[in-house]
């Protein structure tokens, strides 16, 4: 490309703030849907958990991991996803605004791009937006605690929402009545309401709802068909070729205890 001539206007670049992320820290970018309470209502999300919406969120997060550099894992629930960049990443010289804007814009455009694959004949009524932030965590323990915090939030909200919507949908309470009924109740009380009034054992609810979604890189075997021409033959033939590819694979497991980190030590390795 043509060499850049310095103009007298160049000095304005110095007004840009330095937002380089501190070296050696985990860079976490979290995004969250803007006003998704309303978005869910307008697009007829089923309550408390719409599978289409959760799967679309995960598809977008997989796209982010595949398109961008240096993401080691992601965790999502509800209308949010967190992405963890490796400690040593030097992507865009570790500029926070680059991490944040690339993650959020890739996610948002994917949400619109893949919408129809998940929502079929439910049209997208208006363009959704997402906010983003970047937080640095200096130790592995801080990073684990961050992810534990998000998964604990998923659990608390899902337990509440599961009872709340049972009271509304099955017992015919108004939202205000259901809210009053749950005011001041502890986890044990909510489990008890679910069990005694609705015959639901909360622990048997789908893992995706209770634990959210973890995305980690895994080698997967893929079988594709290829058309090839063998040396001694004249016609092209279809053959099956197996190859291993590294993909961002969804898991719905506990990440608060040690087991997950013991099973996948490569996530925290340099």
DSSP string, 77-131: ETTEEEEEE-TT--GGGGBHHHHHHHHHHHHHHHHHHHHHHHHTTS---S---EE
CB of 60 to ligand ATP, least distance (A): 13
Phi, psi for 16 (deg, rounded to 5): -70, 135
x/- letters, 59..78, toward Mg ion (CB under 5 A): -------------------x
Calpha distance 98→26 (Å, rounded): 15
Please report whether residue 205 would count as binding Mg ion according to CB under 5 A.
no
40 binds, among Mg ion, ligand ATP, none (CB under 5 to 8 A by kind): ligand ATP
Give the one residue of 43, 61, 72, 79 binding ligand ATP; rule: CB under 6 A.
79
Give the one residue of 21, 29, 30, 33 binding ligand ATP; rule: CB under 6 A.
33
Give the one residue of 22, 23, 24, 34 binding ligand ATP; rule: CB under 6 A.
34
53 binds, among ligand ATP, Mg ion, none (CB under 5 to 8 A by kind): ligand ATP
What is the dihedral angle through the alpha carbons of 87, 89, 92, 95, rounded to the nearest 10 degrees?
Answer: 10
Please report whether residue 159 would count as binding ligand ATP according to CB under 6 A.
no
CB atoms within 10 A of CB 83: 28
> Which stretch of DSSP H or E encloses residue 187?
helix 187-198
Residues that bind Mg ion in the complex, under the rule CB under 5 A: 32-33, 36, 78-80
Residues that bind ligand ATP in the complex, under the rule CB under 6 A: 32-37, 40, 45, 47, 49-50, 53-54, 78-79
């Amino acid at each position: 490309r043509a060499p850049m001539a310095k103009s007298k206007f160049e000095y304005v670049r110095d007004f840009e703030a330095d937002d380089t992320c501190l070296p050696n820290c985990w860079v976490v970018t979290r995004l969250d849907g803007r006003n998704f309470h309303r978005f869910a209502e307008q697009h007829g999300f089923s309550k408390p958990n719409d599978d289409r919406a959760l799967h679309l969120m995960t598809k977008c997060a997989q796209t982010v991991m595949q398109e961008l550099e240096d993401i080691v894992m992601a965790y999502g629930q509800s209308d949010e996803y967190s992405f963890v960049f490796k400690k040593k990443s030097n992507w865009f010289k570790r500029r926070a605004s680059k991490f944040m804007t690339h993650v959020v814009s890739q996610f948002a455009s994917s949400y619109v791009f893949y919408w129809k694959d998940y929502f079929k004949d439910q049209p997208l009524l208006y363009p959704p937006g997402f906010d983003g932030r970047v937080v640095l965590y200096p130790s592995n323990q801080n990073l684990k605690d961050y992810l534990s915090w998000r998964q604990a939030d998923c659990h608390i909200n899902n337990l509440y929402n599961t009872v709340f919507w049972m009271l509304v949908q099955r017992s015919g309470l108004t939202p205000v009545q259901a809210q009053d009924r749950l005011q001041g109740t502890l986890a044990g009380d909510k489990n008890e309401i679910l069990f005694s009034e609705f015959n639901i054992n909360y622990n048997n609810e789908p893992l995706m709802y209770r634990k959210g979604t973890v995305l980690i890189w895994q080698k997967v075997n893929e079988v594709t068909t290829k058309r090839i021409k063998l040396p001694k033959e004249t016609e092209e033939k279809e053959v099956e070729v197996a190859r291993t590819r590294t993909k961002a694979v969804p898991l719905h497991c506990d990440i608060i205890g040690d087991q997950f980190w013991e099973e996948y030590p490569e996530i925290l390795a340099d």
